[in-house]
Chain A
Amino acid sequence: MTALVEQLKSGLDAPICLTWELTYACNLECVHCLSSSGRRDPRELTTGEAKAVLDELHDLQVFYINIGGGEPMIRRDFFELVEYSIAKGIGVKFSTNGAFIDGAKARRLAAMDYLDVQISLDGTDAVTNDAVRGNGSYATAIRAMDHLRAADFGPFKISVVVTRHNVDQLDEFKALADAYGAQLRITRLRPSGRGADSWHDLHPTNDQQRQIYEWLLAHGDHVLTGDSFFHLNALGDENLPGLNLCGAGRVVCLIDPIGDVYACPFVIHDEFKAGNIRDQGGFTQIWKSSNLFTELRQPQSAGACASCGSYDSCQGGCMAAKFFTGLPLDGPDPECVGGEGELALAGVAAGTTPRPMMDHSKPPPATPVSFRRK
C-alpha cells in the first residue's frame, strides 16, 4: 500500500468532488434506486441555498460536482445551477435518465464546457432494462443519446448498474458505447434505498462476480468502474485498476436534496449522516469537523477480516453493502468472494436489517394502472 493511499484514507482538506442529489423527484421509479426517489421533498434546498453551497464549494476549491437525484433535470433551476457552478470554476458531471434531453437541451449542453453527462441504462434491450427502470425507459435513454450525438456533444458516459440479469450483456454494453463514441461505466449494485428490497434478487451470483472480474481484466481498458468492484480483487492475483479505496467522508461525500450531508450516496441513513448544510458553519464545518467524518478518517479496523490474506486487495469491501444487509462494518462484505459474507448473512435475523430512513418513493397506485408519465 502506498503512502498516498494512506493519506487519502485520512481525508483531504476538501473533497476532490462530491455527489449532490438535487431533488428526490423523479419521473422513473427504478427498483434499485439508491435514493428511493420519486416524490419531491418539500424541504428541498432553494435556488439561493443551492448557490450558497456552490459558493462554499468554490472557496474550498472543490474541483467538480457530480449531480444526480432523483432526476436532476426536473428541477426548474437545473441549468441555472449548472451554469452558476461552472462560472464559479466548479466542473459539473451529471447523471440522468435522459427523459428531459430533447434536441434543444442537447444543444444547450453541448455548448457548455467543463460539463460531463452520464446516461443511466441497465440493459441493452428494452426487456432487460425496463424490468428494472420501468416501461419505456430504455427508449428514453436511447433517444437522449441520439440527441446528444446529433448535437455533437462529444463523448458522454453510459452508466450501468451490474445485476444478475445484465451481466451477460457486458460485451453488448461496450459495443453500444462504442457505437455512440461514448464511454462505458459499470458500477456495483448496493443494497441501498429501494435496492435494500431488490438486492437479494438482483445482485450477481458468485459465478457472475467472477465473470465481471474476468471481463474487466480482459476488456476493461477503457471502461470506467469508479473503483466499485475492488471487493472482487480477492478472486485472483491481478488487481483491477484503482486504489481499492472507499472515499466516503475522506475524499468525497453526498449532499442530498434537503441539505443533509452523508458519507456517500449509498448510505442515506442517520448512521452515516454528518450534518445538514443549513446548520451553523454550513458544508465547510461538516467536511472539516463533523464527528462522522473525523471517525471515518481514523484508521479502520480490519476486525474479523484481519487474518484473511485477501484483506489487502479487498479492504473488507463496501460499508454500504455491509450496513444494509445487517452485517457488522468490521467484518466481511456480503459479497465476499471467499464466501465469508454468505456465512455471516445466514446469521442475520430476518427483518432486522437497517431500513432506509428516507423513502421518497411514490405511493403505489390504488388500482393497477399501466405506467404513465405526465
Chain B
Amino acid sequence: MIAVDAPSELLGRALTLHPQVALRPEPFGALAYHYGTRRLVFLKHPDVVRVVRALEHHDTVGDTFAACEIAPARHPAFLRALTSLSDSEMLRDRAG
C-alpha cells in the first residue's frame, strides 16, 4: 500500500498494475480483479484504462498522463482514481 499525502504527490511516482490483478476489457472500460484480495473494481472510462496500462511504460504518473494526452483539467479526477487504485492494492510502486 502506498502512503500518499495528497493525490498530486502521486504525479512523481512510478506505478504499475499489481501482478495479481487481471484487467479485462468491457464496452465501457474495463474490469480489474485482484486474485489475492478478491476485490473487483470497474474502470469506467476507456481513458483510465489506457492510463493504467501505460503506467509501467513511463517513469512517472505525470509522464503517463502526458503520453496518454490527458488534459490538465482532468488530472485531479485521474489522480483520485489512481490513488483509489493504489489504496485497494490494484496498483503498486514500481521498484527501481
> CB within 8 Å of B: which residues of A?
3-4, 7, 12-14, 16, 61, 63, 89, 91, 114, 116
Contact = CB atoms under 8 A, between A and B. Distances in A.
Contact of A61 (B24, B27, B35): B24
Nearest to B27: A13
B26 A13 contact: yes
A63 B27 contact: no
Given A4-B42, A4-B44, A13 B25 contact: yes
Interface string B27-42: 1100101010010101
A56 B59 CA distance: 37
B22 interface: yes
Contacts of A3: 44
A91 B26 CA distance: 20
Contacts of A91: 35, 38
B22 A14 contact: no
B24 A114 contact: no
B31 A12 contact: yes
Interface residues of B, number: 13
A14 B33 CA distance: 13
Contacts of A7: 28
Nearest to B44: A4
A61 B21 CA distance: 12
11 contacts: A3-B44, A4-B42, A12-B31, A13-B24, A13-B26, A16-B31, A16-B40, A61-B24, A63-B33, A91-B35, A114-B35
A282 to B, nearest CB: 19
B22 A63 contact: yes
A12 B22 contact: no
Nearest to B25: A13
A173 B25 CA distance: 39
A89 B22 CA distance: 9
A116 B42 CA distance: 23
A3 B38 CA distance: 23
A194 B38 CA distance: 32
Contacts of A61: 22, 24
Nearest to A12: B26
Interface in B11-25: 22, 24-25
Given A4-B44, A89-B22, A116-B38, 4 more contacts: A12-B26, A13-B26, A63-B33, A114-B35
Contacts of A14: 24
A16 B41 CA distance: 11
B6 to A, nearest CB: 27
A114 B35 CA distance: 7
A14 B24 CA distance: 9
B42 to A, nearest CB: 6
A13 B28 CA distance: 10
A329 B28 CA distance: 29
A223 to B, nearest CB: 16
A80 to B, nearest CB: 21
B59 to A, nearest CB: 29
A4 to B, nearest CB: 6
Contacts of A12: 26, 31
Contacts of A63: 22, 24, 31, 33, 35, 40
A16 B42 CA distance: 11
A237 B4 CA distance: 36
Contacts of B42: 4
A160 B40 CA distance: 24
A95 to B, nearest CB: 16
A256 B83 CA distance: 41
A34 B33 CA distance: 29
